[in-house]
Amino acid sequence: MTAHPTDLAKQAANAAPATLTLAVEDMHCGGCLRSVERAAMRVPGVDSARASLAAKRLTVTYDPAQAGEVALIEALGRVGFTASLMDSAKQDRGDGRQNYLLRRVAVAGFAAMNIMLLSVAVWSGESGDMDPALAALFRWLSALIALPTVVYAGAPFFSSAYAALKGRRLNMDVPISLAIVLATGMSLYQTMLNTEQVYFDAAVTLLFFLLVGRYLDETLRVRARGEAQNLLSLQNGIATVIDPDGMRRQVAANALRPGDRLLVAAGERVAADGRVVSGRGQIDQSLITGETAPASVETGTQIYAGTLNLTRSLEMDVTAADDATLLAEISRLMLAAEQGKARYRRLADRAAQIYAPAVHGLGLATFIGWLAFGATWQTALTYAIAVLIITCPCALALAVPAVQIAAASRLFKRGIMVKAPDGLERIAEIDTVVFDKTGTLTLGKPQLIESECISDDVLASAAGLAAASRHPYSRALVAVAERRLGAVQPTSGIEETPGEGLSCGDERLGSAEWCGVETGDARGSRVWYRRGKEAPVCFRFADGLRPDAAETVAELKRRGFGVALLSGDRQAVVAQVAAEAGIDTWHAEMKPAGKIAWLEERAKEGRKVLMAGDGLNDAPALAAAHASISPASAADISQRAADFVFQGAKLGPVAEAIDTGRRAHRMAFQNFGVAAVYNAICVPLAMAGYVTPLIAAIVMSSSSILVTLNAARLAGGGRR
Amino acid sequence: MTALAWLIPVALGLGALGLAAFLWALKTGQFEDLEGASYRALEDEPPGDETGRN
């Protein structure tokens, strides 16, 4: 990316089309796909727009002289999609590697099938009347197909094995490469001598099955990585800058500098840290503090990037932007905590450490043993190759990824996304579940309570007013009215006075003061409605438990998990929620560092903790826990830190994730068991020289299929 | 036996054709959004209308 300035100028003059990628949230169906593409195409200067449902991204080519990311993000915003620019450095989902493997799977598959066809002819004509010249021709044809295939399709294994050997380590790819190279080289030599011990089929079939395993593993990684990048880019919004001369212009949030003056419209997220210089209103700070009640701000108040401006537009001076914001700082803290998790060694890697030396040892022992007993070096080598192929670590190369793919797709159908590939292994080991309160155990959104005391008539009128506002209380009110009365149409002619309330004719909805109600109770969680001189009606709001919270906690306890509640909220509130959910162990008024300390204490006691949390304040704890899960409503950063993200209002997915993790773990061990039994039977036979490499390859393949079918059982069961 | 002289090349050629078709499909990005493609098939408008500018 170091184009010379004159080159750039030349490009601009020629109006060379530029390409950018946007992450688009909430794109779930074919209809969304079309709306997104159409909205982007309507922006002047856009040449083409192509959305991907799988990646939740939109790729646009446009004329940089006419269009830009700001215009595109705004156009998508108008049709109801939140889009954000992908950093060009971060937009690689790594599907290049996926395609690299898929190409090799295709080539190896083609070669394996054709060589197998030729081999079947040769082997079946072996004892009969097949013309030896024809058999030789078939062997040479096999060689012709096999050699380029091994060079091309074997590259991923060879390069990995070479890198491992260079670092003086052993990995699974070393025995794999050795087996493939030896089998191919040996077969070529035998073909030249025109003998029967030719095993190109074994080498290429082996390669094909191993590549399928690699490809499945990579698919899961790509999906997880893509989702993580989309979440990360959500911080890259656009912001309105007011220049000193009063002109307003739109810039990308990561181009803001301290000292810029920003206009934050109602309903917009604040793009940088700063101080309010004019205007007063309310902002939703739940992303930073986890507190759901909106906070009032006025001139001089410090506000943070990522908070949501609820009521009226504010002007602010930027004090810190881009990488210097509190949001970015917390993100860095979290990354540091994540380093600890990197120490976790995956099951397959741990197995490889024991397996690889054993395989080499057995292969070498077979070769030397047969030489010692007076066999020719060709025979000894053939038997050694059979041992290497028989012991080929398919259970490790294929079984574990197959189980993980099956488990991930099972969870995906139930609204749970697996973000860390090794998360499934870690969640299987946990014995304690720790919940955060706001947004995790509770819904994190104010709910209208005691709504049954309010008459339909009053509710309908109040909801008609509330429909015009985006205040959380208004939304909760409309939600209840829609549940009870059907669709709510906003009353026409509504005026909103930000921070106070709504009015329409003689109807008023808002604070006690706004409705002229005398009340001694100044607590903020209530809204009043008054029509003319009629008696005012009070709507009360509270943050409710998730509908199945108590049930899920009881279920977890029944299965013998320790359950605890950690919250930053006040003692009384936490005690009440703990009692409602049936949690005996709870701690209130905890800071993020306190949560980490608590988790570390548990870790010292030898307990493995699953942390379920959502707020930004939970992010470091999520990263520090043995495994973690976040609701989809959580702060972006928490979702990034978590191993799992679940959707919907229910808490049941937490139990589901643990359950599936444990089943996947059991199944991985079953698969290791299958592999162990098969090795125990076949390895002695191979060492004794009863197994030719062809039979070895067929037996090995069938054990792979067995193991994959076993894993597929996990993916069963429909959508819930 | 002479039939083999052309049967084998034809068999291999057909296989290679399938392989080439798959690699071409992969290269032109036809597997990039399998989920979205299932919805695009239901679109009534011809692909030429993609511009949405009419």
3-state DSSP assignment of residue B46? coil
Is A556 in contact with A441 (CB distance < 8 Å)? no
* Residue from A436, A614, A636, A643 carrying the catalytic annotation: A436
Cα separation, B47 vs A57, whole angstroms:
20
Instruction: Return the amino acid letter for A17.
Output: P
List Cα–Cα distances, A55 to A28, A358, B31, B33, in angstroms: 11, 42, 12, 7
**DSSP of A677-692, one letter per residue?**
HHHHHHHHHHHTT---
What is the CA angle A538-A543-A546, rounded to 5? 130
Q: What is the pLDDT of residue A471?
A: 74
User: Who's near A430: CB < 8 A, 6+ residues apart?
Assistant: A561, A608, A609, A610, A626, A627, A658
Model confidence pLDDT, tens digit, residues A540-580: 877 778 888 889 999 999 988 989 998 877 787 788 888 88
Centroid of chain to Cα A260: 35
- What is the pTM for the complete model shown? 0.63
Instruction: Return the amino acid letter for A52.
Output: S
Q: Which residue has the tokens 């054990």?
A: A703
| A665 φ, ψ (degrees, to nearest 5) | -65, -45
Q: Is residue A9 pLDDT above 50, yes or no?
A: no
Residue of B31, B36, B50 with shortest CB distance to A53 = B36
A14: buried, middle or exposed (CB in 10 Å: 19+, 13-18, 0-12)?
exposed
- Judging contacts by C-beta atoms under 8 Å, the chain A residues touching residue B22 are 106
Q: Which of A94-98, A164-168, A447-451, A582-586 is predicted most confidently? A: A582-586
Model confidence pLDDT, tens digit, residues A279-336: 877 887 766 665 666 777 888 888 888 777 877 788 888 888 777 777 666 666 665 5
Average pLDDT score over residue span B22-28: 91
Helix (H) or strand (E) holding A6: helix A5-14
- Judging contacts by C-beta atoms under 8 Å, the chain A residues touching residue B26 are 99, 102-103, 106
Shortest alpha-carbon distance between residue B35 and chain A (Å): 6
List Cα–Cα distances, A419 to A98, A295, A628, A641, in angstroms: 17, 33, 10, 9
The mean pLDDT of chain A is 79
Instruction: Give me the total of CB pairs closer than 8 Å, taking one residue from chain A and one from chain B.
Output: 62
Residue A33 CB: number of other CB atoms within 10 A? 24
A63 catalytic per annotation:
no
Residue of A nearest to B15 (CA): A110
Cα separation, B15 vs A110, whole angstroms:
7
- Bridge partners (DSSP) of residue A504 are A507
The phi-psi region of residue B43 (left if phi > 0; otherwise alpha if psi is between -120 and 50; otherwise beta) is beta
Cα separation, A246 vs A62, whole angstroms:
30
Q: What is the pLDDT of residue A505?
A: 77
As a whole-number percent, the residues of chain A with pLDDT over 90 amount to: 7
Model confidence pLDDT, tens digit, residues A575-623: 888 888 888 888 887 777 788 888 888 888 888 899 988 876 777 788 7
Helix (H) or strand (E) holding A261: strand A261-264
B50 interface with A at CB cutoff 8 Å: yes
Q: pLDDT class for A719, splitting at 50, 70, 90?
A: very low
Average pLDDT score over residue span A272-282: 84
Better-predicted residue by pLDDT, A311 or A215: A215
B49 interface with A at CB cutoff 8 Å: no
B21 interface with A at CB cutoff 8 Å: no
Cα separation, A412 vs A201, whole angstroms:
38
Q: Which of A196-205, A602-611, A661-670 has the lowest mean pLDDT?
A: A196-205
Q: What is the pLDDT of residue A107?
A: 95
Shortest alpha-carbon distance between residue A338 and chain B (Å): 31
Is A675 in contact with A449 (CB distance < 8 Å)? no
Q: Which of A149, A203, A200 is nearest to A176 (CA)?
A: A203
Average pLDDT score over residue span A387-394: 67
Helix (H) or strand (E) holding A280: none
How is residue A269 annotated by DSSP? B
Is A226 in contact with A55 (CB distance < 8 Å)? yes
Residue of A nearest to B50 (CA): A38
Cβ A41–B50 below 8 Å, yes or no?
yes
Residue of B nearest to A134 (CA): B1
Q: What is the pLDDT of residue A381?
A: 82
- Judging contacts by C-beta atoms under 8 Å, the chain B residues touching residue A29 are 39
